[in-house]
Structure 1
């Protein structure tokens, strides 16, 4: 890497860390400041919205354009997770998330290739279940000098050599590549089921305040194959992935403290997404919502009171002392679903600039009188050590 490119990475990272740090300082309670990193919920609850568009009402989605960036909104992410295994049954989970964060709502003067009003943050994680290990990494860079960026046609979003790359005129086949030292991914994802528009035709309302919403769609089961590298050793793997796409300007309300997000792929061909927005008083917010995707791709929207969630036990991080549920019981009475969600590895805490728990989970339970299993990903935010 030449000197100018290395400086660009450093400067972009410092700027993004400063922005996120300021957001966290303004919004986090004092008890959270004693642990290194900021809560992910704080990065989405800022109030500096002047000049940005907000998500007020449903809108038509246009593909492939909407696979690309929406710089008129402040925040955006491309969020890929998946469960994989090799021919011998060795299991892996992965996450690659690329975030776009706007510094201002207008583009800077084009008088220098260094100038940018967008920064990118990346989170890359790999869970090796057999070895009970979770590897996680973070990068920042500015959206300039080809260090990081996003485009719709042909689809590409990248942060240096961490990238999601699509076909010439479509998202699929989608290639995911990331490497950090001797940990790496090189995967190809096929379309699988049709796209799912979350919430109200793609408008995901997060609180009662107008504009506290995102535009949100998902690909819930994408056949996946490729190579996982751990410690320099390559594993040929296959499995299923999940892609979430969201963009917004302000997502969380002032009375909300965090969320629990479930993305589950059941072995009867169905998928279930549900996020529980937690109020500061500990209750479930009525804007919590989700979707049940049937085997044929048809969907049923889930309201907050359609789903019953019960935390099972507690896991205390030996690194941060944050306390997370050690598992969950999830019930959907109308569908006679009764599921237990268990982390495949207990310690899948993301100890980065933004701090949260996210990792691969196993699913077991019943669908009526039938046993049902599955796997998926779980994200839990703002479980500090108070």
Structure 2
């Protein structure tokens, strides 16, 4: 970890959790429920996303992230999961340079497979060259974890990383259109309150390259999913976490289904079904049924690791199983994240994320 100062880490954790309410929320959701201050920009339904500009960062908003998951297969048939995420959190909205910049970055890296689950977390202050986002040619980095493209979009690009017992170099090609979730990228997160994010995905990625795990070099290839999201106050005070699924179905379509859980209230669901040619069907809360079937205790957390997904309007009925149970990630943002497989009306593979437990 580049910053090993206990004071710095403690300060960062307090920033994420927030101190304006006596109730302590999980840090995963605490930063997203803070009341916007310092004139941060707000997500509005009348805004439209613009590319390639919106591949870059949005420093006038409180939080954002760049997120990649991949289900990969080695030449010997073994299955591997890869997750890379870079977060940006603003400590204030006033532009400053160098060490005074309000932008703080955090990155997560996870590789899972036969060797177990390898994970790492890094932090950096923006403005000093250690982390950032460059528009042209497109580049996002934190230390030696880098996504590099030759143009002004992320694709085609190459993700390279090295940390302890894991390393990789993966080329990423987009084989479909971008998916703008909700109303052309305006993604509601609450049934009544004005809570939302700007949210888009690239669900149809093809990856190939090498992973190095515990000194063993593996040639891998497979499918990936890329998410981009930013906001200044995405969740309400009553919302406690979310359950999120991204799935490549065997008919060539991609399914995103998620729910945000609220204390003593019905969860708010949202999602989409999309195809590489650009067809997208938004899915609202009344169409999506996410039902936990069984729970497991992992690292002291009771987690729903078997699910049923029912979307009658799409004739989708899926049973969800995880590839590995032991994927609770004890980061500053703690959560469960890992590869899944589905069967039922369709077969497929993907990823699941559980937060706020």
Same fold (TM over 0.5): yes
Aligned residue in 2 for 1:35? none
Are 1:255 and 2:238 an aligned pair? Answer: yes
Q: Which residue of 1 aligns with 2:84?
A: 96
Q: Does the aligned pair in 2 maintain the 1:58–1:200 contact within 8 Å?
A: no
Deviates more, 1:91-100 or 1:54-63: 54-63
Is 1:193 the counterpart of 2:193 in the alignment? no
What is the aligned partner in structure 2 of residue 340 from structure 1?
319
Asked if 1:316 corresponds to 2:316, the answer is no
Q: CA deviation at 1:297?
A: 3.1
**1:103 CA drift (Å):** 1.2
Distance 1:297 1:28 in 2: 46
Gaps spanning 5+ residues in structure 1: where? 1-5, 33-37, 367-371
Partner of 1:369: none
Partner of 2:126: 143
C-alpha displacement at 1:12, in angstroms?
A: 8.7
Partner in structure 2 of residue 3 of structure 1: none
Q: What is the aligned length?
A: 355
Q: Which runs of 5+ in 2 are unaligned?
A: none
The Cα of 1:28 is off from its aligned counterpart by 7.6
Q: 1:114 and 2:102 equivalent?
A: no
Candidates 283, 291, 294, aligned match of 2:275: 294
Aligned to 1:209: 193
Structure 1 residue 334, shift from structure 2 partner: 1.5
Shift of 1:19: 3.3
Q: Secondary structure of 1:209's partner?
A: coil
**Cα drift, residue 22 of structure 1:** 4.1
Relative to its length, the structure with more strand (as a share) is 2
User: Does the 8 Å CA contact 1:45/1:252 hold for their aligned counterparts?
Assistant: yes
Question: Does residue 1:329 correspond to 2:312, yes or no?
Answer: no
State the secondary structure of the residue aligned to 2:128. coil
1:20 maps to what in 2? 13
Q: By how many angstroms is 1:173 displaced?
A: 0.8
Whether 1:223 aligns to 2:216 is no
SS at match of 2:133: strand
User: SS in structure 1 opposite 2:319?
Assistant: strand
Give the secondary-structure state (helix, strand or coil) at the position aligned to 2:82.
Answer: strand
Between the aligned partners of 1:151 and 1:291, the Cα distance in structure 2 is 30
Change (3 A) 1:260 1:28: farther
Equivalent residue of 1:334, what SS?
Answer: helix
1:236 to 216, 219, 222: 219
Q: Are the aligned partners of 2:15 and 2:31 in contact in 1 as well (CA < 8 Å)?
A: no
Give the TM-score taking structure 1 as reference length.
0.87
